[in-house]
A = this chain, B = another copy of it.
Amino acid sequence: MNKRMQDFQSTNLPKFEKKIAEFLNNLSAETTLKDAMAYSVEIGGKRIRPLMIMAICSFYNRSIDDDVLAVAGSLEFLHTYSLIHDDLPEMDNDDLRRGKATNHKVFGQAEAVLAGDGLLTLAFDWVARTGLDSKSKVDLIAALAKAAGPEGMVSGQIADIEGEHKTLNLEQLKKVHERKTGALLRYACQAGGILCKTEKEELELLVNFGASFGLAFQIYDDILDVVSTTKEMGKAVHKDKGENKNTYPVILGLDGAYQRLEQAIEEAEGALVKLNASDCVLADFLEYFKRKES
């Protein structure tokens, strides 16, 4: 991580973490439910999606105020719900997430379903409760629902499950991931644009950046599953191959996957050039991907 990204995170992440903890803590809800939701939200992770919203606000000189933190937090809630449900025994059946026991392992399966349901609902709740103007709230809620719902992430999830029983080609795999992983990353950029009230053309470029970043993110995740150890990843690895999952390395080979990763990164860089954003913290997100030395 370069110095600029480091500074950006040390300025903004603590107030973000404080905000989401406060929001959950102030809820008038059953203790078990609050504990289960907070457990998965506070395990952490890289906070890429909220950081991306904040980075766009920073690029447009919009103050990272309570409203921005709320929109960023609501996206993290939504992302966390998807992980909790994804880890369930009937879904991916994972015991480990970010190096810790998954939600249902700690709280029980019914509780994990409800913690996910709760966080999904809170994502919309929190946006609706901000001090933003009504038009912006509706734009954000509509975009979030579209990204997360049956035309986005939820279809990606079911396509992923169904894909396990058949061999997908590259186009089909891309379509699964555009929805399963890409949709929320695209939304992060869209939300940043809505919060900064950018022009339509700029919003489109931001969304393009998010889409390319999302694709790179998924390819890189597939690559990591092949080349990493469980200790490095904090979750089970080499699972994809064992489960005959459709991944970029499986379809394209490891070198082919690295090539496709490089291409996605270049597309993201292209969008940043058009936005005159090549030299800001937004560009530093691309350092997340360790490129293969040629």
Question: CA A149 – CA B37 in complex, angstroms?
Answer: 12
B125 touches A149 (CB 8 A): yes
Question: CA A146 – CA B145 in complex, angstroms?
Answer: 17
B138 touches A30 (CB 8 A): no
Q: Binary interface profile of A, 110-153, with partner B (CB < 8 Å = 1, else 0)?
A: 11011011101110110011000111011001100110111100
Q: B residues within 8 A CB of A154?
A: 29, 33, 114, 117-118, 121
A129 touches B117 (CB 8 A): no
Q: B residues within 8 A CB of A121?
A: 120, 145, 148-150, 154
**Partner among B85, B134, B155 whose Cβ is within 8 Å of the Cβ of A33:** B155
A88 within 8 A of B: yes
Stretch at the interface among A7-15, A52-60, A157-165: A157-165
B145 touches A30 (CB 8 A): no
A145 touches B161 (CB 8 A): no
Q: Within residues 83 to 127 of chain A, which ones have a CB less than 8 A from any CB in chain B?
A: 85, 88, 90-91, 108-111, 113-114, 116-118, 120-122, 124-125
> What is the distance, in angstroms, from A96's C-beta to the closest C-beta of chain B?
19
A28 within 8 A of B: yes
Question: CA A135 – CA B133 in complex, angstroms?
Answer: 9
B29 touches A150 (CB 8 A): yes
Question: CA A145 – CA B32 in complex, angstroms?
Answer: 19
Question: CA A121 – CA B134 in complex, angstroms?
Answer: 19
Question: CA A142 – CA B81 in complex, angstroms?
Answer: 19
A27 within 8 A of B: yes
Which residue on B lies nearest to A136, using beta carbons? Answer: B134
A125 touches B145 (CB 8 A): yes
Q: B residues within 8 A CB of A135?
A: 134
A34 within 8 A of B: yes
A155 touches B29 (CB 8 A): yes
Q: B residues within 8 A CB of A116?
A: 117
Q: B residues within 8 A CB of A138?
A: 128, 134, 137-138
Q: Given A117-B85, A121-B148, A150-B121, is A128 in contact with B142 using a C-beta cutoff of 8 Å?
A: yes
A residues near B (Cβ < 8 Å) are 27-30, 32-34, 37, 81, 85, 88, 90-91, 108-111, 113-114, 116-118, 120-122, 124-125, 128-129, 133-135, 137-138, 141-142, 145-146, 148-151, 154-155, 157-159, 161-162
17 residue pairs bridging A and B, Cβ less than 8 Å apart: A27-B150, A30-B158, A32-B158, A34-B150, A81-B117, A85-B117, A90-B113, A111-B161, A113-B113, A114-B154, A117-B154, A118-B149, A120-B121, A121-B154, A125-B142, A128-B142, A134-B135
In order of increasing CB-CB distance, the 8 nearest A-B pairs are: A125-B145, A121-B149, A134-B134, A90-B109, A29-B150, A128-B142, A118-B150, A30-B155
